Amino acid sequence: MGLFDLFRRKRPPAPSQSRIDYLLTVKHDQLEAPKDAFGGVNFLAFVEQQLVDGPLHLALWNLGSQVKDCFQLANLYWGQGDLDRAESYMRQSLERHRRLLRAMAEHGQPARAYDGIENAKAAACLLESTDEVFSTEGGKEHCYEPWFINTLLDRCLDDAPFDMGAWSAACDAWTRKRHPRYRLEEFGFHVKALTGGFASTTEMFTAHEAMFTGRAKRTVDTDLLAGYRDNDLIIDFIFAAVLKRIGWEGTYRHSWPATDVVGSQARTTREPDGYLNVSAAPVPHQDVQSGVIVDAAEARRFIDSALAGMPQFEDYPTDARRPAKARSKVSGELAALGWSNDPASLDLMRAYRMDCIPNGSTHISLCDPLPGSATTLKGWTELLVGEFDLHPNFIAIAGSEDRSDYADPQGRWYVYWKQDKRIYAVERDDWNRPEIATQDARIGLTCWPSYCSFVAWWIAEHLRATA
């Protein structure tokens, strides 16, 4: 049961029960209540039995989930100002972390990072525990959220300078995965606070308040402690760790142990003076180093060569070539969308069904101009323009069959800009303003000089992801 999100499976709170009481009840029940499914013991005791009887991999996973469960309880009590219980569950989170490390050693498993290790790191930082051991082996790739959270907390726990080169590379990887820019900007706020980038502590707290409370305006399916849901109940534990690391003292809603109520102003009794030194990031790669084939004719030759030797993949035919009888219909569909005077793109789409060109590094697929494909240029563009305010000068060139993307598309989406015939990865928050959405675009990251160049890059990404 440690594998499931019980917030979604439990019945809703009774009308007389507050939201905080409901959340606490669910978390206590999940962690501490005896259950018939566990043989009459609670989750804590059940995992000890699993360590003996197996399966071992599930027992280790469940121990990691207990680290998270304990810290979530600590955070909820912290948000209510019950610091004694908050500290108790923080210490229990650390105890579960140490138990997990012992279990790995007892069963001959190498120490490795796990889902939830960031919660133990936060507890260690806030309680100023210097005896904890945190493995870096087995951590998430740098294009996913846990990498950013763990990197921030690692720098709160040690004296290493902040490596802007590694951070910038991770930001680029995040962008290539089309993850939301706003989340990246939130992580960037914490970097700025850690490294003394604000002109004053007042400016830092004003920025944090705006950033954290702003999460409540977004509908995001994410972890409870991220604060997009139940924003007024949750403490930003990452910022609290940052404050502890830089030596700030005072009272603030998101500080430990001197917390305060929602909406209160920060009161500083000691200015921070422990900012991290910074290892500068390298100069961004130039266009010639981006891996993008700038020349459209060369890009087309790469596409032809790659698709000719492309092995068969599930959901994709071996041959993506468009049937001859359908090729004459492409120009009319493109013209109806306003995609004109672009012979290289027209010829490419006449030659191939775009929805049959795979990319194993993303869940989205290229839109095809002709009806009959799962996602068409017309259908996906009309959805984004009509329902989500994509600017009509953009044509959406990649779509998704994921229901959440239909309901509320987040992050960056690939579009053709009629004005300059380039492809851009535009952020949802900006895509109704083309000049804003395309400013500061980087070749190979958020901009491609032509549709042929983009499709060549798309295939190259697939080849790298499936190598």
Q: What residues does 41 pair with on adjacent strands?
A: 35
Nearest to residue 261, comparing CAs of 78, 114, 35? 78
Name 172's Cβ contacts closer than 8 Å, sequence gap at least 6: 445
In this structure, of 35-39, 178-182, 368-372, 436-440, the range with the lowest mean pLDDT score is 178-182
User: Which pLDDT band, with edges at 50, 70 and 90, does 288 fall under?
Assistant: very low
Both structure tokens of 230: 């139940």
User: Which pLDDT band, with edges at 50, 70 and 90, does 53 fall under?
Assistant: very high
Q: Sign of torsion, CA 15 16 20 23?
A: negative
Average pLDDT over residues 22-41: 96
Average pLDDT over residues 232-249: 98
Q: Give the other-Cβ count within 10 Å of 15's Cβ.
A: 5
Nearest to residue 135, comparing CAs of 100, 90, 160? 100
pTM: 0.78
Cβ-contact 277, 161 below 8 angstroms: yes
Cβ-contact 30, 37 below 8 angstroms: no
pLDDT of residue 219: 82
Higher pLDDT, 180 or 240: 240
Name 447's Cβ contacts closer than 8 Å, sequence gap at least 6: 422, 423, 424, 425, 438, 441
Cβ-contact 254, 208 below 8 angstroms: yes
In this structure, of 176-180, 276-280, 282-286, the range with the lowest mean pLDDT score is 282-286
- Hey, where are the domains in the chain? 1-139, 140-282, 292-465
Nearest to residue 143, comparing CAs of 362, 463, 455? 362
Q: How far apart are CA 415 and CA 339, in angstroms?
A: 12
Instruction: Tell me which residue has tokens 């999940």.
Output: 30
Instruction: Tell me which residue has tokens 């266009």.
Output: 287
Q: Does 79 have pLDDT greater than 80?
A: yes
Q: Does 14 have pLDDT greater than 70?
A: no
Chain segment 327-341, per-residue pLDDT in tens: 999 999 999 999 999
pLDDT of residue 176: 82
pLDDT of residue 281: 64
The interaxial angle of helices 56-79 and 83-106, nearest 10 deg, is 170
Chain segment 297-336, per-residue pLDDT in tens: 999 999 998 888 665 444 555 578 899 999 999 999 999 9
Higher pLDDT, 73 or 140: 73
Q: Does 62 have pLDDT greater than 60?
A: yes
Q: Strand pairing of 422-427 and 412-417?
A: antiparallel
User: Which pLDDT band, with edges at 50, 70 and 90, does 177 fall under?
Assistant: confident
Average pLDDT over residues 60-68: 97
Q: How far apart are CA 429 and CA 26, in angstroms?
A: 35
Cβ-contact 115, 69 below 8 angstroms: no
pLDDT of residue 363: 82
Q: How far apart are CA 412 and CA 420, in angstroms?
A: 19
- Residue 373 phi, psi dihedral angles, 5° rounding: -85, 165
Q: If one looks up domain 292-465 in CATH, what number appears?
A: 3.40.1580
Strand order in the sheet with 422-427: 394-396, 412-417, 422-427, 447-448
DSSP annotation of 263: T
pLDDT of residue 311: 56
Q: Please tell me whether residue 417 adopts helix, strand or coil conformation.
A: strand
DSSP annotation of 179: -
pLDDT of residue 458: 92
Q: How far apart are CA 196 and CA 16, in angstroms?
A: 46
pLDDT of residue 34: 96
Both structure tokens of 64: 């990691």
Chain segment 373-423, per-residue pLDDT in tens: 888 999 999 999 999 999 999 999 999 888 888 888 888 999 999 999 999
pLDDT of residue 8: 40
Nearest to residue 7, comparing CAs of 80, 25, 18? 25
Chain segment 133-153, per-residue pLDDT in tens: 999 887 888 889 999 999 999
Higher pLDDT, 358 or 290: 358
Identity of the residue numbered 185: E
Both structure tokens of 218: 């977004």
